[in-house]
Structure 1
Amino acid sequence: MPTPPLDTSSLYAAREPIFPKRISGRFRNLKWIVMALALAVYYVTPWIRWDRGPSMPDQAVLVDLANRRFFFFGIEIWPHEFYIVAGLLVMAGLGLFLFTSALGRVWCGYACPQTVWTDLFILVERWIEGDRNNRIRLHRAPWSLQKARLRVTKWTVWLLIALMTGGAWVFYFTDAPTLARDLLALDAHPVAWLTIATLTATTFFFGGFAREQICIYACPWPRIQAAMMDEDTLTVAYRDWRGEPRGKGAGAGDCIDCMTCVNVCPMGIDIRDGQQMECITCALCIDACDQMMERTGRPKGLIGYLALSDETAERAGAKPRPVWRHVLRPRTILYTVMWSGIGVLIVLALLMRSQVDMNVTPVRNPLFVTLSDGTIRNAYELRLRNKQHDDVIYELGVDATGPLVLAIEGEEAQRLIVPADQTMTRRVYLSAPPESPLATSETTPLTLTARDPAGAAAADVESVFHGKDAK
């Protein structure tokens, strides 16, 4: 008999919109605080000024792609110092591991940009369309003038927020006041317009429509968080030994099956079904359940932060272990030590770095030149970077086992004036007298030096001098 065709109708389920109910409580208040701080930092930071001198940008935080530098208040990072940025990225990763191992997906629930902007968009939606029940009725209602008016108003505010988000991002890469004037005059660079348009569209779609879909399907973190968690990790959980069986009659548990914990969840899950990949540990269900327990005269904590290692003891009636015993354990201490160690190394690197960098490359074609009087001359490509915010005169010198004469191409003296925050490239010549040990040796080590006459900066680079017996 022929094989019947495969029924694929159930392989795809249309998204059911989620309309979280408004809730108040300590965790909801904490989310408001984190959201306000995160948005304030994001939108305000590009406008903070920092005086670096007349020839330097005065934006406190600036990614200067044109000059390949990054400014962070009093810190200036050059391309060759990218290890500092790499260290900060490692610290960010370790910090994420630390918080996840201690408190689950607390980053996702409070500080993730997707969560922050989704919370903001839901706030606007609730302000315009009403709370959960009103929004559900509006969603199911046929199109009318009132529904169109509310939808257009909501989408307009969303679009303005998204436009502000995209605009704020480009301000980090150029002088914010100047770019703002260019944008208002419609005279900004096409790259700025393209970046703003892209970020506006993604913010509008991710925060307004995709929402929890980004967390479930696009973000990889839910699928790897299990590697960061163990039986001592505190995470949001339902104490079913207290709540079951659900109901309000005799013999029922504390859970009255009011569905409030489900209605406030921005991911649309039921925490009573156990741990789920979709849970972002925002703890709004704790606020909702505690309020209901208080109203019905039952003890709080039916839904709360719980570690798997405590479940057996609590089922037997023991009190929950203190939070610090879950947070301070070998794994989290190790993450903290590693995070702190990298931070200390970055600070030391910033404190110990020189204000001048010098790179010397011998010219190898030819290795040396014999002048008419028998003098042996080597050529070197010299790159001198002045990291200070003022022009500096650097005196060049050479330290070797024998006499060497240093000359700079195009310069009469053995000095270079390097402009502030710039790199100068020059060809340098070293000459050894005829028949001297340096002239007759195949290679001789030497050290080229750059000295600030005021003694504020210095650089030393080791190289070699090739004599006439070089192969």
Structure 2
Amino acid sequence: CIDACDSVMAQVGRPRGLIDYCTLDDAATEMAGGVAPPIRKTLFRPRTLFYFGLWGAIGLAMLFTLGQRTRLDLAVQHERSPLYVQLSDGAIRNNYTLKLRNMELRPRRVEISVSGLPEARLWIDGGSRETARQSLHMPLAPDSVTSARLFVVAPGAGPARQDFTIAVRALDDDPRGDRETIQFDRPGTEP
């Protein structure tokens, strides 16, 4: 369009530049018979270079943050019905729903463990109290969310609500993981 407009304007005896890529200052300079500065001089001004550097730094920071994020996510929800179950030996069991998200495109094995709750043992659906341990291993499918029901049993003596941590970590070359602090409920008998 610019080239066609320039040739039509030349045929009718008018000045070229009716349609053009230029600033108002460049258009005024051309109208006065001067020559507009080259595009290189316009693009490589200090302000343009500053903005280019700023947006480049923001982009690199975003890429760095994306590369450093954990590729394993844990969400734990305490099941409220029932709040706790008192077992025949006096121990207390709480039930939780785990959601483990594997953000990698490969299957992974993870370790789920508890800390901050003395003598606690855990197992998932398909296990039993006899096979319960301080930590357990679980496979995760690639790029998916895996849900599991987690059972945690601890001694009956203790505060009514006690904070403890459930942690998940990968058992491969990238051992980063996630953790969440949650509460363990009991009838509330202090020894």
Q: TM-score, normalised by structure 1?
A: 0.33
Asked if the contact 1:370/1:376 (under 8 Å) is kept, the reply is yes
| Residue of 86, 91, 97 corresponding to 1:370 | 86
CA spacing shift, 1:310–1:391, aligned 2, 3 Å: closer
| Residue of 101, 109, 113 corresponding to 1:397 | 113
**Secondary structure in structure 2 of the residue aligned to 1:383:** strand
1: distance between equivalents of 2:15 and 2:72?
66
Partner of 1:26: none
| Residue of 152, 156, 165 corresponding to 1:434 | 156
CA spacing shift, 1:376–1:462, aligned 2, 3 Å: same
Query: How much does 1:445 deviate?
Result: 2.8
Cα shift readout 1:19-71 (whole Å, capped 9, x = no counterpart): xxxxxxxxxxxxxxxxxxxxxxxxxxxxxxxxxxxxxxxxxxxxxxxxxxxxx
**Secondary structure in structure 2 of the residue aligned to 1:384:** strand
CA spacing shift, 1:381–1:323, aligned 2, 3 Å: same
Amino acid at match of 2:91: T
2: distance between equivalents of 1:443 and 1:330?
61
**Secondary structure in structure 1 of the residue aligned to 2:101:** strand
Q: Which moved more, 1:397-406 or 1:308-317?
A: 308-317
Corresponding position: 1:423 with 2:142: no
Would you identify which runs of 4 or more consecutive aligned residues in structure 1 move more than 6 Å?
Answer: 292-296
State, as a whole percentage, how many aligned pairs show the same letter: 34
2: distance between equivalents of 1:388 and 1:371?
39
| Residue of 431, 449, 452 corresponding to 2:170 | 452
2: distance between equivalents of 1:314 and 1:291?
17
More strand by share: 2
2: distance between equivalents of 1:364 and 1:342?
44
Query: How much does 1:290 deviate?
Result: 4.7
**Secondary structure in structure 1 of the residue aligned to 2:4:** helix
Asked if the contact 2:75/2:180 (under 8 Å) is kept, the reply is no
Cα shift readout 1:180-233 (whole Å, capped 9, x = no counterpart): xxxxxxxxxxxxxxxxxxxxxxxxxxxxxxxxxxxxxxxxxxxxxxxxxxxxxx
Cα shift readout 1:132-151 (whole Å, capped 9, x = no counterpart): xxxxxxxxxxxxxxxxxxxx
Query: How much does 1:343 deviate?
Result: 2.6
Corresponding position: 1:388 with 2:104: yes
1: distance between equivalents of 2:10 and 2:126?
85
Q: Which moved more, 1:308-317 or 1:374-383?
A: 308-317
2: distance between equivalents of 1:433 and 1:462?
21
**Secondary structure in structure 2 of the residue aligned to 1:373:** coil
Corresponding position: 1:466 with 2:185: yes
**Secondary structure in structure 2 of the residue aligned to 1:320:** coil
Superposition CA RMSD, Å? 3.6
Alignment of 1:166-181 (within 5 A): none
2: distance between equivalents of 1:366 and 1:341?
52
| Residue of 105, 115, 125 corresponding to 1:409 | 125
Corresponding position: 1:443 with 2:161: yes
1: distance between equivalents of 2:86 and 2:19?
86
CA spacing shift, 1:392–1:308, aligned 2, 3 Å: same
Cα shift readout 1:253-286 (whole Å, capped 9, x = no counterpart): xxxxxxxxxxxxxxxxxxxxxxxxxxxxxxx2x2
Cα shift readout 1:292-348 (whole Å, capped 9, x = no counterpart): 68899x997565322123344444443323334544568756764564355324422
Partner of 2:67: 351
1: distance between equivalents of 2:138 and 2:152?
16
Query: How much does 1:427 deviate?
Result: 0.9
Asked if the contact 2:74/2:180 (under 8 Å) is kept, the reply is no
Amino acid at match of 2:154: A
Alignment of 1:22-101 (within 5 A): none
Asked if the contact 2:117/2:154 (under 8 Å) is kept, the reply is no
Query: How much does 1:354 deviate?
Result: 2.7
Alignment of 1:297-336 (within 5 A): 303-327=19-43, 336=52
Q: Tell me which of the two structures has the higher relative contact order, counting C-alpha pairs closer than 8 angstroms and 6 or more residues apart.
A: 2
